[in-house]
Amino acid sequence: MRLSNILSNADKPLISCEFFPPKTDKGEENLWRCLHELQTINPAYVSVTYGAGGTTQERTKRIVLGIKEKTGLSPVAHLTCVGSTSQQLGELLDEYAQAGIENILALRGDAPEGQDGFEATTGGFSYATDLIDFVHERGDFSIACATYPEGHPESKGGVADDIRYLKMKQDNGAVCAVTQYFFDNDTFFRFRDAASKAGVTIPLIPGMMPILNYEQIVRFSAMCGASVPAFMHEKMQPIQSDLDAVKALGIELATKQCQALIADNVAGLHFYTLNKSEATIAIAKEL
């Protein structure tokens, strides 16, 4: 189903799940098991990431097509500007359209490992705004975009810049925006209010990252500009080597965070599953 229809038909906050395309057969087996387990909570859509430098292009496509054929879930294919010309991106979009894939999450993407900062490919695009415009022109897709309640790490003008670019993404055809994960709901509410004042009317769907491994989250968060509140460090640090205890606390904290977001009328919750089902299922059941 198209994202625009999913969003307009939703009579309660929708739950969506994000996966990455695995590199190995074993990883792929795990992904399909995880997808089948998650079907029990009936996600409104599931999205599949696109690797840096277009490295996962073929795998992303195969998994997206597989989701449509094997599960009956609505897939969303992530697509980035990295390493591709507009012609290459156009050909991939045409393949998606022919296969009946209706939803694209259009992003700029990050530089591949070992490269300093993002560089636009000659004949390609510099920003997600340009890619969204292109996807919109190229086919009859429902388009999602990314946004950053704490500001994108490269944004020179901070959150105000991100809101301006979010409005451009909407104007270029995005029907919803999925946020970078955050742990402090007030940051999201402030961002949502400011975006609304700037004319952003599309739903902003909070990205949720339950903490299953404290050290990993601290590392990720430093890279992507998400802050970990002091109270979380205080609770997690003493138990960080006990992964079961971290997982239990991570699920408890994320459940409370989701409940508060739902109480404040979010359109949906997007779970960064890291190809694991347990935490998302446990949280969804509590909600």
Ligand X SMILES: Cc1cc2nc3c(=O)[nH]c(=O)nc-3n(C[C@H](O)[C@H](O)[C@H](O)COP(=O)(O)OP(=O)(O)OC[C@H]3O[C@@H](n4cnc5c(N)ncnc54)[C@H](O)[C@@H]3O)c2cc1C
Within 13 A of 126's CA, how many CA atoms are on the CB side? 1
What is the rounded CA–CA span in Å between residue 18 and residue 28? 14
Other C-beta atoms within 10 Å of 250: how many?
Answer: 24
Report if residue 252 touches ligand X, rule: CB under 6 A.
no
Reply yes or no on whether 252 is catalytic. no
Which residues is 106 bridged to in the sheet?
A: 79
Least gap, CB of 234 to ligand X (angstroms) = 27
Pair type for strands 45-48 and 75-80: parallel
Buried b (16+ CB within 10 A) or exposed e, 98-128: eeebbbbbbbbbbeeeeeeebeebeebbebb
Q: Which of 18, 29, 215, 286 is catalytic?
A: 18
Span 143-162, contacts to ligand X by CB under 6 A? 146, 152, 154-155, 161-162
| Residue 250 identity | G
Least gap, CB of 88 to ligand X (angstroms) = 16
Q: Single out the residue of 16, 57, 74, 80 in contact with ligand X (rule: CB under 6 A).
A: 80
Least gap, CB of 224 to ligand X (angstroms) = 7
Least gap, CB of 132 to ligand X (angstroms) = 9
Report if residue 108 touches ligand X, rule: CB under 6 A.
yes
Span 113-142, contacts to ligand X by CB under 6 A? 127-129
Give the helix ranges, DSSP H, for the chain: 3-9, 25-38, 57-71, 86-98, 128-138, 158-172, 185-197, 214-224, 230-236, 243-263, 278-286
Closest CA to 176 of 195, 156, 189, 190: 195
Q: Single out the residue of 13, 21, 83, 109 in contact with ligand X (rule: CB under 6 A).
A: 109
Q: Single out the residue of 7, 34, 38, 52 in contact with ligand X (rule: CB under 6 A).
A: 52
x/- mask, ligand X, residues 165-194, rule CB under 6 A, reads x--x---------x-x--------------
Instruction: With CB under 6 A as the rule, give the number of residues binding ligand X.
Output: 23
Residues within the interface to ligand X (CB under 6 A): 49-50, 52, 78, 80, 107-110, 127-129, 146, 152, 154-155, 161-162, 165, 168, 178, 180, 207
Active site residues: 18
